[in-house]
């Protein structure tokens, strides 16, 4: 037994080489730490870490008895790198890992642990109870990892290799049926040091998911039942956060937020905080996949701060059957799109490229269908081969002829101090770029369509034009298809933008993981990633480039395509064409130089754009034609200036930083506001 408290570190590390890659509170490890501190037999002195520099300074003071690390796709090499350095300096320190970035089969689990000898024990699936059981077993062995490994003891929820290299896998541990049994890492002060200008607080009100999607790590039966935290605990956490938070966002990590009546109570608390604390401005959730009427009510309660989701992954029934996915009906999706406008929320849908059975035609149809039903933000993902998902198994890969490539995960690289030495770390992800129904060339074409959606459709960036065209019977998909077809036809800025995007998408992909590892390990290569020369998230980078630097070119190609769509229509009037020309100027003034918050723009208009704006641009412009032209000024409100300053402080103004801004914010709420002089 230790005479003094056992010293344990809990590190949910994020890369900071370029930007802060995972700019969220370390909620998962904090929950494990808080539970262990209260329930372990041995007294514990725990500390939680997010930033590598903070963790390195802690290690320089004294090495912990047990070093715990989260394991996600975005921090695995960083975590194992620090663990290996600790084991070299202090072999007696016990290294414990946990997190979803871990294989499903026993054979692959054994291979994983053999490849990472710095890991003594792996806590699998729900971590709080399993970690306490591990601590108690270690206490019985005098906190000797070697003795416990030699015993071969089966610890529920814990895996390790015995001295012969054989996997010892404890049975699945029981899940906590009441999340309130975990002491709050907020109200206990465990997370106080993370209230800075960058990290976004996260809460979890329930845990579990009733769905079984094969591409998700929560698609296992283990997580099928949903367990809750008590109402008072949720409210206390939110109020504690609101009194200290320094960023405008909140993340709720529940798998299906808004589906349950308890979620409406959480939203009521958040609405009260919006009134009293003016926070949160944006609430990031994975919205419920069913009971959309309740999800809509939740969004309305918090005044549109929640993005409403109609997540489909694909619109193709065959694809959905292959990945065990069940979508809501198209009619319900239409309702989500319409209802999102009322509280001023964004509605979004997630679409994954290159799922089993996916084709160029079905992917295009998924994207265009979501546009036409009124969903105003499409989150388009590449298919990551997550180790803890059924889709990444060898059997599934062979069945669907899946071919993969490797790339350095965007933003997840850097050089860090480890015991005084500079060490470079980077993360590599595996993504599917081809299958038996989608050749690689089609995959690249689909990626370009995704860029078109990001530039011209997402966040309702051009809703003024889309709503006008809908009055003429022109669907969003028709306009977007025309823009997409003309992306390399005549405008040099757009031609260069798309060519750069396709080239960078292709060049970032490697057939061999070993070859990529060798390349990035070459001296100076990590610096090229940090500088932004290599390793970007192409969609975010090129959307940011278009949005912040080439608005004139975006407007030219979009409004030219709109005129071409209207040209064959005998009902088109001269007034409508005049309106289209003014609308182009109006739209451009709202979206130009968005970060120049001290700059005021102005122009004259013969249509009442203030009234059209109030009507959501659903009125016909003829009803708002002015007898005398009107001068409008375009600037940012004080609240917008504050929000933009906050985002710049969080993410910076590099292309990568701007890409994070357009990802995190409701971009249409950053547009300049028009007012009469």
**Residue 257 sits in the same domain as residue 357:** yes
Query: Structural domain tally of the chain?
Result: 2
**Residue 10 sits in the same domain as residue 105:** yes
Does residue 300 belong to any structural domain of this protein?
A: yes
What pLDDT was estimated at residue 287?
72
- Please name the residue ranges forming H helices in 508-651: 513-521, 525-530, 538-549, 551-566, 574-591, 609-614, 638-651
| Placement of tokens 């999800």 in the chain | 295
Dist. CA 12–CA 477, nearest whole Å: 42
What pLDDT was estimated at residue 338?
56
What pLDDT was estimated at residue 337?
56
- Please name the residue ranges forming H helices in 70-200: 76-89, 106-115, 127-140, 145-151
Instruction: Write out the H or E segment, with its range, that includes residue 95.
Output: strand 94-98
Q: Regarding beta strands 202-203 and 167-169, do their DSSP bridges make them parallel or antiparallel, or are they unpaired?
A: unpaired
- Among 382, 400, 431, which residue terminates a domain? 382
Range of the domain at 242: 200-382
Dist. CA 125–CA 491, nearest whole Å: 51
Q: What is the pTM of this model?
A: 0.85
**Residue 158 sits in the same domain as residue 282:** no
Does residue 342 belong to any structural domain of this protein?
A: yes
- Which tens digits make up the pLDDT trace of 71-99? 999 999 999 999 999 999 999 999 999 99
Low-confidence stretches of the chain (pLDDT < 70) are 1-3, 210-220, 288-290, 308-311, 325-346
Dist. CA 54–CA 469, nearest whole Å: 54
**Residue 11 sits in the same domain as residue 109:** yes
- The distance between the two most distant Cα atoms of the chain, rounded to a whole number of Å, is 90
Please tell me whether the peptide bond between 88 and the residue prior to it is cis, using omega within 30 degrees of 0: no
Does residue 471 belong to any structural domain of this protein?
A: no
- Among 154, 169, 184, which residue terminates a domain? 169
- Among 382, 415, 432, which residue terminates a domain? 382
| Domain harbouring 158, CATH code | 3.40.50.280
Exposed, middle or buried by CB within 10 Å (0-12, 13-18, 19+), for 290?
middle
What pLDDT was estimated at residue 209?
80
**Residue 113 sits in the same domain as residue 260:** no
**Residue 271 sits in the same domain as residue 219:** yes
579-to-462, 478, 565, 586, 587 alpha-carbon distances in Å = 15, 20, 15, 10, 12
495-to-158, 302, 499, 550 alpha-carbon distances in Å = 53, 41, 6, 12
What pLDDT was estimated at residue 1?
44
């Amino acid at each position: 037994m230790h005479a003094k408290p056992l010293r344990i570190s809990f590190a949910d590390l994020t890369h900071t080489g370029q930007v802060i890659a995972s700019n969220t509170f370390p909620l998962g490890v904090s929950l494990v730490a808080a539970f262990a501190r209260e329930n372990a037999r041995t007294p514990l002195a725990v500390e939680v870490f997010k930033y590598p520099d903070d963790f390195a300074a802690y290690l320089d003071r004294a090495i912990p008895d047990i070093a715990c690390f989260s394991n996600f796709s975005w921090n695995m090499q960083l975590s194992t790198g620090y663990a290996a350095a600790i084991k070299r300096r202090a072999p007696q320190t016990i290294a414990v890992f946990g997190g979803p970035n871990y294989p499903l089969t026993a054979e692959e689990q054994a291979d994983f642990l053999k490849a990472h000898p710095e890991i003594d024990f792996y806590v699998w699936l729900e971590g709080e109870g399993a970690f306490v059981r591990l601590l108690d077993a270690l206490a019985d062995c005098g906190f000797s990892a070697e003795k416990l490994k030699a015993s071969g003891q089966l610890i529920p929820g814990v895996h390790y290799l015995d001295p012969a290299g054989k996997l010892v896998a404890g049975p699945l541990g029981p899940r906590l049926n009441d999340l309130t049994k975990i002491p709050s890492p907020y109200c206990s002060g465990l997370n106080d040091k993370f209230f800075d200008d960058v990290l976004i607080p996260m809460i979890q009100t329930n845990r579990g998911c009733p769905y079984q999607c094969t591409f998700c790590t929560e698609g296992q039966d283990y997580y099928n039942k949903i367990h809750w935290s008590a109402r008072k605990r949720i409210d206390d956490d939110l109020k504690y956060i609101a009194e200290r938070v320094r960023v405008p966002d909140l993340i709720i990590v529940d798998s299906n937020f808004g589906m349950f009546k308890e979620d409406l109570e959480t939203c009521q608390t958040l609405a009260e905080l919006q009134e009293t604390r003016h926070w949160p401005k944006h609430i990031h959730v994975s919205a419920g996949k069913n009971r959309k009427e309740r999800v809509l009510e939740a969004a309305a309660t918090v005044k549109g701060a929640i993005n409403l989701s109609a997540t489909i992954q694909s619109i193709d029934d065959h694809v959905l059957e292959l990945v065990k996915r069940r979508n809501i009906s198209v009619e319900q999706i239409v309702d989500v799109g319409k209802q999102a406008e009322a509280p001023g929320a964004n509605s979004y849908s997630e679409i994954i490229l290159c799922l089993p059975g996916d084709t160029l035609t079905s992917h295009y149809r998924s994207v265009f269908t979501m546009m036409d039903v009124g969903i105003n933000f499409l989150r388009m993902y590449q298919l990551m081969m997550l180790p803890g998902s059924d889709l990444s198994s060898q059997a599934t890969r062979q069945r669907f002829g899946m071919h993969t490539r490797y790339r350095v995960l965007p933003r997840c690289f850097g050089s860090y101090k480890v015991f005084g030495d500079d060490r470079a770390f980077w993360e590599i992800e595996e993504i599917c770029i081809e299958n038996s129904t989608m050749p690689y060339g089609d995959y690249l074409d689909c990626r370009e369509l995704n860029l078109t959606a990001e530039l011209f459709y997402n966040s309702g960036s051009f809703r003024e034009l889309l709503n006008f065209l809908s009055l003429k019977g022109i669907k969003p998909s028709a306009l977007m298809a025309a823009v997409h077809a003309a992306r390399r036809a005549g405008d040099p800025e757009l031609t260069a933008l798309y060519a750069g995007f396709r080239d960078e998408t292709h060049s970032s992909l490697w057939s061999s993981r070993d070859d990529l590892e060798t390349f990035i390990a070459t001296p100076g290569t990590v610096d090229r990633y940090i500088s932004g020369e290599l390793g970007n998230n192409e969609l975010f980078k090129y959307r940011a480039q278009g949005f912040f630097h080439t608005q004139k070119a975006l407007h030219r190609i979009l409004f030219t395509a709109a005129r071409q769509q209207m040209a064959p229509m005998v009902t088109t009037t001269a007034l409508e064409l005049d309106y289209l020309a003014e609308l182009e100027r109006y739209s451009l003034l709202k979206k130009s130089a968005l970060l120049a918050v001290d700059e005021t723009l102005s122009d004259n208009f013969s249509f009442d754009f203030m009234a059209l704006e109030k009507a959501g641009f659903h009125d016909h412009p003829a009803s708002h034609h002015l007898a005398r032209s009107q001068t409008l000024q375009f600037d940012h409100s004080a609240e917008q200036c504050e929000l933009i300053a906050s985002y710049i402080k969080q993410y910076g103004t590099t292309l990568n930083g701007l890409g994070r801004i357009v990802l995190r914010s409701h971009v249409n709420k950053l547009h300049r506001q028009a007012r009469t002089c």
